[in-house]
Amino acid sequence: MVVKEYICESGKKSKVVIEDFSTNIKEDVTILLCFAGIGLIGPIIANTLIKQIPDIKEIGFITSEYLPPISVFYSGVLKNPFRVYYSPKNNIIVGICEVPFDISSAYNDLARTISNWALNDDVQAKQIVIFQGIPQAGVIDDFSVYYAAEAELVDFLEQYGIKKFDRGIIIGPESTILNETLSNKLQGYALFAPVYQIPTPEAAASIITVLNDIYGLDIEISKLMEEGKEIKQKMLELAEKTQEFSRKQLSKQGSEGAYTQYYR
């Protein structure tokens, strides 16, 4: 198989490998990078887009010496853990990374490699978008979407009614990608939504709704919303069972005189 590898001097440990040359990537393509973080909204967003965009296809993968020894497979078919897809109709690249990196120092190497590829004459990307979950305690009722962006993108994003964070810190591979865009021609921004410590489809659905508006997509989110309701119901049931168990334990302790509950 003939492939083309993209390696840069400052990112020697990582490379982008393109296997499918049948479709030329159009200029000013948008790159959506979906990493596996809290709430798994990145992979949920990516997999939903991949399933529903008719002309999207896998064109390659990204590899790194820092990737952990983990294999990924679907329906018995092995897949690269960091895959790259392209939709000519929407002029969107979707990168999905389903495994965490072994060490944080890998992020800088990866960010430089991806940015170098994105700016290459074969790609000529305009924007890179990343996604992160905001961990919340308890049941989440509002899955509002927030943004953090380069100054030139603020007006562009606010016209879609997205809320902004006044101050904060982004960590992980997403942060190094955005830091790279600050020093090159790429425009970078992040979209956030509240998440649980477990997969949170509703948060992914909220972000997909924003992507539909910005990029003219037509992604159906009703299934994700239904999955989110099921997760919320299970969490409520678990909370009720936990409270019931705690009450029984306190009642038992009180009757035995073993412990005294107090607050201060």
Strands 92-97 and 82-87: antiparallel
- Would you list the domain boundaries of the chain? 4-220
pLDDT at 102 over 90: no
Predicted confidence (pLDDT) per residue in 146-158, tens digit:
999 999 999 999 9
Which residues, 6+ apart, have CB-to-CB distance to 251 below 8 Å? none
Q: Which helix (H) or strand (E) holds 17?
A: strand 14-18
How much of the chain exceeds pLDDT 90, in percent?
A: 58
Distance between CA 119 and CA 135 in Å, rounded? 33
Cα dihedral 15, 9, 107, 182, rounded to 10, equals -110
The CATH number of the domain covering residues in 4-220: 3.40.50.10900
Burial class (CB in 10 A: 0-12, 13-18, 19+), 206: buried
Q: Which pTM does this prediction carry?
A: 0.85
How far apart (Å, rounded) are the C-alpha atoms in residues 189 and 30?
Answer: 11
Whether pLDDT at 262 is above 60: no
192 vs 206: CA distance, rounded Å: 9
Q: What is the pLDDT of residue 250?
A: 63
Exposure string for 137-156, b = 16+ CB within 10 A, e = fewer: eeebeebebbbbbeeeeeeb
Structure tokens at 110: 């990866």
Q: What pLDDT shows up at residue 240? A: 73
Neighbour count for residue 160 (Cβ, 10 Å): 13
What confidence category does residue 133 fall into, taking pLDDT thresholds of 50, 70 and 90? very high
**pLDDT tops 60 at residue 172:** yes
Q: Residue 71 — pLDDT band, cuts 50, 70, 90?
A: confident
pLDDT digits (tens, 9 = 90+) for 22-37: 889 999 999 999 998 8
At residue 67, the pLDDT reads 81
> For 206-252, what is each residue's pLDDT tens digit?
999 999 999 999 999 998 888 888 877 776 676 677 667 667 656 65
Give the amino acid at 215.
Y
pLDDT band at 260 (very low <50, low <70, confident <90, very high): very low
